[in-house]
Amino acid sequence: MKKEDLEKMLSGIDPPMPEHLTHQEELKIPLLRYKRSSKAGLWLLILPIIIAVTSILKHELAISWGFLNVIGSLIAAVDENPVLTFLIPVIVLGLPCTAMVMNLLAFCHFTTVRERKELLITMKYRPVNIGIVLLSFAILVFFFLPDVLSF
Amino acid sequence: MNEEKLLQEIEADPQKFAEVYEAFYKSIFGYAFRRTANYDAAKDIAAETFLKAYTGIGKFTWRNISILHWLYRIATNETNKYFNSRKYLPESINRIHEEYGVDITDYSNAETERILLEEDLQRHQDFVKINELMKKLDTKYQEALALRFYEQKSIEEIAVILGKKTGTVKSLLSRGVDKLKKEYGGRADEKRRS
């Protein structure tokens, strides 16, 4: 077959043209509700983790290092500095709590069945979100231990 | 549709993306179906295309390029992934399944539609034969040939969709037809021998 003949055949080809797609509506609703799954909880834990690690390295391992000393002195100044007085509790308590709640909501779904007066809680297996919740909880427990933040 | 205005509206209200979906879904599904000749694959590819478009529309800058051409580009990439991988993994669809428990790949509800489309496909025998041969080519030729002959796009439109120069598109089409001719010739020889 000549190339021109094949091109002519291709130009005259009659491909299928799907019409009236019933499945089109099925996708629309979940598509418009779609949000990227939130791993924002992990970002919220960076500062608390830095403080927790600083505490461990300075108190438990007695490591003295420039960056650790800076963090330590910031936390030690919490009673003297009104900004830090506000900020440190937000970082060590507020951020892990927020991370925990955000990620709990990512894998727990709540629906009510009015007719049966039921509240249905569905928990989906989402290891990353569950991991962030556990990490947040661990950080909160750590900060509630005595003398952790005494620099 | 004033696309530039629509993009601004979508930025303010993402739900407006529904207009893009309604306007272009059939074209994109049709394109995926014509390239793959497979209802399930076309459904996955179309869904993945619109999901990626929905999440990425904030990055789409209006440069007098039609939204449809942008969607064709995404769909082309997804279709190439389908051909190039052993198993096509539509990532965004799996995330929707995890988050909302909606299985878009549950084809049981669309069984009638699938049967109708596949029956219709069989009525286009010339297309089916050419498509089988085209699938043997490298995806860079497949995409150019499909956009030219299935989607009736001009060289300039294909260049915009694929992000290539018009000269490159012409070259791909010419070489693609050459390779298709070889496959076609090879098939004719096989038939004669058998």
Binary contact (A26, B109; C-beta < 8 A): yes
CA–CA distance, B167 with B146 (Å, rounded to integer): 17
Residues A41 and A129: beta-carbon distance below 8 Å:
yes
Q: Find the length of chain B.
A: 194
For chain B, what percentages of helix, strand and coil (3-state, to nearest 5) are there? 80, 0, 20
Determine, for residues A15 and B150 on separate chains, whether the beta-carbon distance falls below 8 Å: yes
For residue B70, is pLDDT > 60? yes
pLDDT value at residue B152: 94
Q: Identify the pLDDT of residue B109.
A: 56
Contact A13 B127 (CB under 8 A): yes
Closest partner CB to B177 (pick from A6, A21, A124):
A6
Closest chain B C-alpha to A149 CA, distance in angstroms: 38
Tokens 């990532």, residue located: B91
Give average pLDDT by consecutive 10-residue segment, chain A, 151 residues: 86 88 76 58 82 82 79 76 82 87 75 76 75 88 72 52
Locus of tokens 């009104």? A82
Rounded to a whole number of angstroms, the distance from the CA of B84 to the nearest CA of chain A is 23
d(CA B65, CA B162): 12
Which chain A residues are within 8 Å of B101, Cβ to Cβ? 124
Structure tokens at A96: 């892990």
Q: Which chain B residues have a beta carbon less than 8 Å from that of A38?
A: none
Q: Say yes or no for a CB contact (<8 Å) between B96 and A31.
A: yes
Chain B residue closest in CA terms to A126? B98
Residues 11-50 of A with CB under 8 A from B: 11, 13-19, 21-24, 26-28, 30-37
What was the ipTM of the complex prediction? 0.75
- pLDDT on residue B10: 84
* Mean pLDDT computed over B10-30: 89
Q: Please say if the pLDDT value at position B100 is more than 60.
A: no
- The closest CB to that of A18, out of B17, B29, B96, belongs to B29
Res. B90: pLDDT tops 80: no
B109, B115, B120, B121 alpha-carbon torsion, rounded to 10°: 100
pLDDT tens profile B44-54 = 899 889 988 98
Q: Which of A15, A24, A37 has the CB atom closest to B25's CB atom?
A: A24
The pLDDT of residue B14 is above 90 = no
What is the reported pTM? 0.65
Does A111 reach chain B within 8 Å, measured CB to CB?
A: no
Say yes or no to pLDDT of B107 above 60. Answer: no
Least CB–CB distance from B29: residue in A21, A28, A34: A21
Which letter, b or e, does each residue of B18-34 get, where b requires 16 or more Cβ atoms within 10 Å of its Cβ? eebbeebbbbbbbbbbb
Cα B51 to Cα A34: distance, rounded to the nearest angstrom: 8
Q: Which residue has the tokens 């084809």?
A: B107
What's the pLDDT score for residue A39?
Answer: 54
Query: What residues in A contact B117, CB-CB < 8 Å?
Result: 16, 18
* H-assigned helices in B37-165: 39-56, 67-84, 91-100, 111-122, 125-134, 139-145, 155-162
% helix / strand / coil in chain A, to the nearest 5?
Answer: 65, 10, 30
Per CB-CB distance under 8 Å, the chain B contacts of A1 are: 181, 184-185, 188
Q: Is the pLDDT of residue B78 over 90?
A: yes
Q: Which of A3-7, A97-101, B98-102, B184-188 has the lowest mean pLDDT?
A: B98-102
- In the predicted model, is pLDDT for residue B125 greater than 50? yes
pLDDT of residue A37: 47
Is A27 close to B100, i.e. CB distance below 8 A? no
Measure the CA–CA gap between A31 and B26, rounded to whole angstroms. Answer: 16
Residue A139 phi, psi dihedral angles, 5° rounding? -65, -40
* pLDDT-above-90 percentage for chain B: 49
CA distance B168 to B180: 18
